[in-house]
A and B are shown apart, each in its own frame.
Chain A
Amino acid sequence: MATQTAAPTPAGKETTPAASTVRKPDRRFNSAPILTTVTWVLALIFFSPVLWMVLTSFKQESAAASDPPVFFFAPTLDQYRAVLDSGAGSYFVNSAIATGVSTLLVILLAVPASYALSIRPVKKTSDVLFFFISTRMLPVVAVIMPIYVIAGQLKVLDNVWTLVVLYTSMNLPIAVWMMRSFFLEVPGEVLEAAQMDGAGLMKTLWRVLMPMVAPGLAATALICVIFAWNEFFFALILTAGQSATVPVFLMSQMTSEGLFLAQLSAASVLASLPVVIAGWVAQKQLVRGLSMGAVK
């Protein structure tokens, strides 16, 4: 933050009088640590529930339930062992299939769609965009019963591919909107230059546009992964023994009789790891993309 605000000042030569009054070295010297402290405090506040979850996952159930809360305790891996013993594997496999395949499908469908809505706009683009996003306006709970009954009649209840289809359609509108905004940022001159050089549609899309929107693509894919991985409602209602996903597994760690906080925390830590890793991987791509944009 500090370096970015400092950068424009040499360019502002015309405003020297104003700039000289603002540029009191001692004041700026003071604000930096305050800003840093505030940032850290905010970050810690936001992070504290996650930290508490990680801490709780290493407790025994009685320590996790104690009031006032315990901060110092003998850490144990019992909860992780219990979670892994309860057959978490198949849930993770189902989640990986539902998330991976749906995200892939979304990207495959959203890239051409958003291309057609930005760079080569079709007729009534805004209507099409509205039509896309309108599917997100109906609350899921309002359509769950028809979906359940239809899935029951098609004999696709408790089937991971049903989730793939639903997650694809759930994420597609968001992906189209996001990718469209990234495509819109591509300067028209670049496309004209590609055309002049004789590049066809596929070549332009693949060799010219893709590298330029790669960070956007990564961001879109990450959002889709997060939404699909964390999706709970469809998974709860439409799956049973064969195709239940990780959020349903988390739910099954809860009980109405007995203590469950520590084990639930351990399961939650394991469940959030893939998303954290995906975010970390995508982050590198995102940062590179941002710096590329800055040079442009």
Chain B
Amino acid sequence: MSSPGRSRLRAGLAAAAAAALVLTGCGGAEAEGKNEIVVAIVSNPQMQDAITLQDEFKAQYPDIDVSFVSLPENEARAKITASVATQGGEFDVVMISNYETPMWAENGWITNLQDYADSTEGYDPDDFVPTIREALSYEGDLYSVPFYGESSFLAYRQDLFEEAGLTMPAKPTWEDIRGFAEKLDDPENDVDGVCLRGLAGWGEVMGPLDTVINTYGGRWFDEDWNATLDSPEVEAAVTDYVNLVQTYGQAGAATSGYGDCLTLYSQGSAAMWYDATAMVSSVEDPSSSLVVGKTGYAPAPVEETESSGWLYSWSLAIPTTSEQKDAAWDFVSWMTNKEYIQLVGEEIGWERVPPGSRLSTYENPGYAEVAGAYAEPTLTAMAGASQENSMVKPVPYTGLQFVGIPEFQDLGTRVAQQISAAIAGQQTVKEALEQSQGYAETVAESYQNGGS
């Protein structure tokens, strides 16, 4: 008796739930008259400044309603990749890097921005730092535009160098760095000789380590896509890196990444630090750093090459799924044009300006005043950051501190885990590289068998 009644009730509930979904689905989509855009960005300090300044954008474009999703690097990358790859369409503007841009452009996931950039008055795409502009282009056209760009260089404590009677050469080698680290390592006063990333992750330890491998003459793959992680050059590079950080580096090196080194260095607990040029905005910020004005900046240490810095850029792209491309471009161009740099300088402070995207930033007197110590080293590092200057042998992939193939996120992280274990002393460098070579060979197969 009761079962028909119950099933009717169930059907009613299901219908109500379905109706609720349909209603809310329609309600959420559009508001009348206003263009709503959703922007996904990485929650680094300069990006958060952009959120703070959104009222300026809204004043300039009153008919565009912008909302932000800001997440730490790994979460943002996972979310943005999932959304763009499955055509989820939640975002009108996404922040990606020079790793994703050429691949996503090839897949047709992001919009060609060249015409937008050329036709926007005063936008001046030729003002972008040339190496960055090239890294964000696919077949000659820009597919994302840089918000900031970075290379890598060596920060060192001038006061400690002076005390110890040391001088940093104009172009230090890794052997020089080892010598300095030995002299400056001072466990009694809680100062490490050097801080280097050791945390497993393709964007962590592999960043600086790949540049060391490059300058030692190593590479991930040769021109025929043969994995070469077991070559003597790679082994020499990794051995020197691991020894340096084990002997004179920070405690717990195997689990420390950019953030940990930043904390150590800015609290005065490390004499040298080789990392992203973007560090300056935190190292030279009096509200979070104890070593403001005490730091000198030297080019990335080299071995066999002219230069050795990496090249990275956080840039803005418009997914092809966006239904508000024009409004999205209005926002993208606002956040990446020259006036924005001026706006940040005046409203928030010149030391917070997103560096490394535009050449004009470095001609700006306001920026020159605060950035005297690091403007020139940053620009030089970025100008030199190309495969021609930083690698000994030719490679079949794009990228300096990464291999520009989709598999690299996984491969890089697996290799990083092996390296991290070597830094922790759980295995030798040789064992780590043998294992890594196996991973790289598996990936290489699909490219050797008539791949791209």
Contacts and interface: CB of A to CB of B under 8 A. Distances in A.
B21 A154 contact: yes
A281 interface: no
A77 B50 CA distance: 23
B86 A149 contact: yes
27 contacts: A65-B288, A66-B267, A86-B52, A148-B82, A156-B24, A158-B28, A159-B25, A162-B21, A165-B17, A236-B71, A240-B38, A240-B83, A248-B69, A248-B71, A252-B43, A252-B69, A252-B72, A253-B43, A255-B44, A255-B48, A256-B42, A256-B259, A257-B44, A257-B258, A258-B262, A259-B266, A259-B282
A159 B267 contact: no
Interface of A: 60-62, 65-67, 85-87, 148-149, 152, 154-159, 161-162, 165, 236-237, 239-244, 248, 251-259
Q: Tell me if A's interface is mostly helix, strand, loop or mixed.
A: loop
B29 A155 contact: yes
Interface stretch (B88-96, B331-339, B396-404): B88-96
A209 B17 CA distance: 28
A281 B347 CA distance: 44
A18 B198 CA distance: 65
A166 to B, nearest CB: 12
B426 interface: no
A256 B82 contact: no
Contacts of B51: 86-87
Contacts of A66: 267
Contacts, number: 125
Contacts of B259: 256-258
A26 B106 CA distance: 83
Contact of B45 (A156, A161, A243, A257): A257
A251 B69 contact: no
B278 interface: yes
Contacts of B67: 241-242
B68 to A, nearest CB: 6
B58 interface: no
A240 B269 contact: no
Nearest to B70: A252
Interface of B: 17, 20-21, 24-25, 28-29, 38-40, 42-45, 48, 51-52, 67-75, 79, 82-83, 86-91, 257-259, 262-263, 266-267, 269, 276, 278-279, 281-282, 287-290
B43 A61 contact: no
A39 to B, nearest CB: 35
Which among B17, B44, B75, B258 has the greatest number of chain A C-beta atoms within 10 A?
Answer: B75
Given A149-B86, A240-B90, A60 B287 contact: yes
Nearest to A68: B190
A137 B70 CA distance: 31
Contacts of B278: 257
B356 to A, nearest CB: 13
Contact of B288 (A156, A254, A259): A259
B28 A62 contact: no
B72 A86 contact: no
Contacts of A65: 263, 266-267, 288
Contact of B258 (A62, A67, A243, A256): A256
A77 to B, nearest CB: 15
B286 to A, nearest CB: 9
A148 B81 CA distance: 13
Contact of B25 (A155, A239, A242, A255): A155
A152 B69 contact: no
B190 to A, nearest CB: 8
Contacts of B279: 257
Contact of A240 (B69, B72, B86, B287): B69
A40 B88 CA distance: 51
Contacts of A239: 69
Which among B17, B75, B262, B288 has the greatest number of chain A C-beta atoms within 10 A?
Answer: B288
A239 B28 CA distance: 12
Contacts of A87: 51
Contacts of A61: 287-288
Contacts of B40: 240
Given A65-B266, A162-B21, 19 more contacts: A60-B287, A61-B288, A62-B266, A67-B269, A86-B51, A86-B52, A155-B25, A159-B28, A161-B21, A240-B83, A241-B39, A242-B28, A242-B38, A252-B43, A252-B69, A255-B48, A255-B72, A256-B42, A259-B263
A162 B20 CA distance: 10
B24 A241 contact: no
B355 to A, nearest CB: 12
Contact of A148 (B21, B52, B88, B269): B88
Which among A62, A66, A162, A256 has the greatest number of chain B C-beta atoms within 10 A?
Answer: A256
A83 to B, nearest CB: 12
Nearest to A152: B88
A148 B86 CA distance: 9
Given A241-B39, A256-B73, A152 B86 contact: yes
Nearest to A116: B6
A165 B39 CA distance: 25
Contacts of A62: 266-267, 287-290
A253 B42 CA distance: 11
A296 B324 CA distance: 65
B48 A158 contact: no
Contacts of B289: 62
B434 to A, nearest CB: 31
B431 to A, nearest CB: 30
